[in-house]
Amino acid sequence: MTGFNRVGTFWRPWAGHSRCGVCLALLCLALGGCGPKPPIAIGFLGGLSGKFSDLGTATRNGALLAIEQANDAGGVGARKLVLFEQDDKQSSDAALLAMAEFKRQGVVAVIGPSTSSIAVAVTPVANQNHLLLVAPTATTNKLSGKDDYFVRSIGDAAFYGRSAAQRHFNLQGLRSAALVLDMANADYTESWGEPYAAEFTRLGGKVTLVERFNSTANPDHAVIAKKLVGSVPQLVVTVASSVDSALIAQRVRAISADMRLAGAGWASTERLIELGGAAVEGMLFEQYFDRFDVSPKFQGFLQAYRNRFKTEPGYAAVLAFDAANMVIGGLAKTDQREAMKAAVLGIGKFEGAQNPITLDAFGDVTRDVYFGVVKNGAFAKPQ
């Protein structure tokens, strides 16, 4: 339209145009616009590079699928949705720069971040800007039960850690375990590992060692494995990414071929199997979704994801698809950034790709927990 320039997702008049152009512009605005309505900007924050990129990429893909499906259905209020991606590089500094960029781009909500440590770093900025974060995979207990601008589509880490301890003690019959925690994402690993250790001990088990390392500091995985095996546990539990869990499993099995292995949900991606090979056979995981769900609803999601990305969705893609649909649900109520938190919490219950998502007053979620085991180079149901 003559006399207007599109800047991001907003329309602003050029200075110095004719009075006639101004009149025409005002008339178009009064009538709801002379052309398509401007799109709604949504942010995505996750680690799209580095060793945690499998998590960030999967969350981005799950969110993008939900947004594309919404656009194919006509958008929200006849407005298309646009996803602005920011790579936090698993760095607090990079994530804070991304938050400033989101403010400049005028996003109304952010899907992400992917990891707990980044969530802890950026939530204060989100609070200051009244910018809703809907995190797919950030489970830290540090953000549970708080009236802030952080909500999520996943339960908190303490629930999953305790559930894993109960499974290992009650169903696997294990009575001693050694844990290894990656402090590069300590807000997650401590939130999972400490409740695991407390619950395992409460049940009557013994934690022989809690080993901590930093995956960004070039750790010696062979030395870590030697310490773990040297504490003589029945089970080694890795609370780390797929990359480090695979490397530790290889070093542990090189020392003790029959050592039982388990991992936290963070590592339960296809990349673990790709990198770990035979060393991760028999490794048990708690899972954030039911990989073996044959319901038409979930199978429809699976097929749509496969068609779009030519790969299988893991837990991160499923949870991000749900998180994006929570944002889309909020947008059906309001397109104002400051009102998005109230809109999402006001809805309270959302249909997920697999199960309903129910939020409490603080935006915290309780979801079912599932378990899987690596068998013949794939995830399978445990016995």
Domain ranges across the chain: 40-154+294-358, 158-287
Give the homologous superfamily in CATH for domain 158-287: Response regulator (3.40.50.2300)
Q: What is the pTM of this model?
A: 0.85
**Phi, psi (degrees; rounded to nearest 5) at 39:** -70, 165
Q: Which of 158, 152, 150, 84 is nearest to 120 (CA)?
A: 150
Q: Could you identify the residue written with the tokens 């950034």?
A: 337
Decide: helix, strand or coil at residue 115: coil
The CATH number of 40-154+294-358 is: 3.40.50.2300
Sequence-distant (≥ 6) Cβ neighbours of residue 100 within 8 angstroms: none
The answer to whether domain 40-154+294-358 and domain 158-287 are alike in fold is: yes
Q: Say if residue 97 is exposed, middle or buried (CB neighbours under 10 Å; 0-12, 13-18, 19+).
A: middle
Contact (Cβ atoms closer than 8 angstroms) between residue 370 and residue 159: no
Q: How would you write the pLDDT of the chain (383 residues) with one tens digit per residue?
A: 333 233 333 333 333 343 444 444 444 444 445 567 899 999 999 999 987 898 999 999 999 999 999 999 999 999 999 999 999 999 999 999 999 999 999 999 999 999 999 999 999 999 999 999 999 999 999 999 999 999 999 999 999 999 999 999 999 999 999 999 999 999 999 999 999 999 999 999 999 999 999 999 999 999 999 999 999 999 999 999 999 999 999 999 999 999 999 999 999 988 999 999 999 999 999 989 999 999 999 999 999 999 999 999 999 999 999 999 999 999 999 999 999 999 999 999 999 999 899 999 999 998 889 999 999 999 999 97
| CA gap 180, 349 in Å, rounded | 36
